């Protein structure tokens, strides 16, 4: 399984999501470009410290393919995440950027977003979805209120 870790502005509050992923899934891979984003001095210090010694379940990998014209529209992290997902024949790719999600879907990749991961965790009863949504709303992550409400309503039934 391959996950595109969100940009540093949202990552700090979402490390719990990654820890959830690592505890529940056998293998997570990430591209060097995303590693570089998380290591960047502009990233929150907690993120820099976390990625400096990545957990054993997170494998940082370089990509061998070159980018096609479609992928050149994306930032390096999203571009490499999609390339790596193709190279690894990944089961699932975590992307929240709409353009990246569209391109990944066009390439036949299975995708989910942060909300999809939170939904899975709540379904497995290992995360309080309401608390996770409140934390997410304190970050730069954006989604429509109606989508959040639909997710919360689904978990209540």
Closest CA to 78 of 119, 46, 17, 30: 30
User: Is residue 74, in this structure, part of any structural domain at all?
Assistant: yes
Let me know if residue 53 belongs to a domain.
Answer: yes
pLDDT digits (tens, 9 = 90+) for 122-140: 887 877 888 888 777 777 7
In a domain, 141, yes or no: no
84 falls within a domain: yes
pTM for the predicted model, two decimal places: 0.75
**C-alpha radius of gyration, the chain, whole number:** 15
Residue 136 included in any domain: no
What pLDDT is stored for residue 22 in this prediction?
Answer: 55
With a pLDDT cut of 70, the percent of the chain lying above it is: 82
- Specify the DSSP element, H or E, that contains 51: helix 45-52
CATH of the domain at 6: 3.40.50.1010
Query: What is the secondary structure of 76-118 as a DSSP string?
Result: HHHHHHHHHHHHHT-S-EE---HHHHHHHHHTT--EE-HHHHH
How many domains does the chain divide into?
1
Higher pLDDT, 152 or 13: 152
The pLDDT assigned to 108 comes to 95
**Each residue's pLDDT tens digit, 11-51:** 433 444 454 555 555 567 888 888 888 888 987 787 788 88
Tell whether 153 is covered by a domain.
no
Average pLDDT over residues 55-83: 84
- Segments forming the whole domain that contains residue 53: 2-115
């Amino acid at each position: 399984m391959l996950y595109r870790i969100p940009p540093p502005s949202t990552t700090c509050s979402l490390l719990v999501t990654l820890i959830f992923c690592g505890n529940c899934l056998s293998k997570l891979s990430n591209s060097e470009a995303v590693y570089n984003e998380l290591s960047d001095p502009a990233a929150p210090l907690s993120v820099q410290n976390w990625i400096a010694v990545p957990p054993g379940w997170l494998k940082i990998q370089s990509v061998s393919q070159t980018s096609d014209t479609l992928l050149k529209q994306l930032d390096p992290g999203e571009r490499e995440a999609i390339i790596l997902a193709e190279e690894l024949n990944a089961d699932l790719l975590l992307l929240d950027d709409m353009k990246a999600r569209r391109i990944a879907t066009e390439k036949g990749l299975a995708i989910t977003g942060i909300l999809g991961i939170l939904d899975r965790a709540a379904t497995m009863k290992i995360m309080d979805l309401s608390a996770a949504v409140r934390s997410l709303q304190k970050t730069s992550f954006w989604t429509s209120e109606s989508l959040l409400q639909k997710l919360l309503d689904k978990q209540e039934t």
